[in-house]
Amino acid sequence: MKISSKIAPCLWFDNQGEEAAKFYTGIFKDSKIVAVSRYGEAGQEIHGQKPGTVMTVAFELEGQSFTALNGGPVFKFNEAISLQISCESQEEVDHYWNKLSAGGDEKAQQCGWLKDRFGVSWQVVPRALVEMLLDTDAGKSQRAMTAMLKMKKLDIAELKRAYEGR
């Protein structure tokens, strides 16, 4: 299995790694599954997986390498780590938000954050918001921040209205 990025996140799943990789590669345009490895007889007393079941799936999203590992139910995802998606338009925000949040935890949606159906946390962030928050005019940036804190999915037009004081 060739990993094309020097640093690649490894996402630990119970047994849904291949399903998750297919789900993610179906959402992002420049994406693909690169390789699938399977458990064998070696180490079965340790990993406890049936020989032939999927062990890892190497995949790429927008050129970023990832590995999905079917490691069993030992570890669960939490919000301590999330994957950020930088969006150019509301259309792009809506696309990623709608696709990734489908079947996910609605209670985990806040300020552009969502949790997908596998428990992975994502931040769907318009570049415009980052620019607003970095503005040296504290009044503008604070109005944008206040507006963002009231949202689940981020609305660029509403953020701009708040930023501009309208």
Cα distance between residue 60 and residue 34, in whole Å: 7
Return the pLDDT at 2.
54
Closest to 153 in 3D by CA, of 72, 69, 65, 91: 91
What's the pLDDT at 43?
78
Q: What is the 3-state secondary structure (H, E, C) of the chain?
A: CCCCCCCCCEEEECCCHHHHHHHHHCCCCCEEEEEEEECCCCCHHHHCCCCCCEEEEEEEECCEEEEEEECCCCCCCCCCCEEEEEECCHHHHHHHHHHHHCCCEEEEEECCEEECCCCCEEEEEEHHHHHHHCCCCHHHHHHHHHHHHCCCCCCHHHHHHHHCCC
What is the structure's pLDDT at 49? 84
Q: What are the angstrom distances between the C-alpha of 23 and each of 40, 85, 141?
A: 25, 16, 36
Task: Give the pLDDT of residue 4.
Answer: 65
Domains, the chain, ranges and CATH? 10-70 (3.30.720.100), 82-163 (3.10.180.10)
pLDDT tens per residue, the chain (166 residues)?
Answer: 555 678 999 999 999 999 999 999 999 999 999 999 999 988 777 778 888 999 999 999 999 999 999 999 999 999 999 999 999 999 999 999 999 999 999 999 999 999 999 999 999 999 999 999 999 999 999 999 999 999 999 999 999 999 999 8
At residue 46, the pLDDT reads 79
Structure tokens at 48: 């406890």
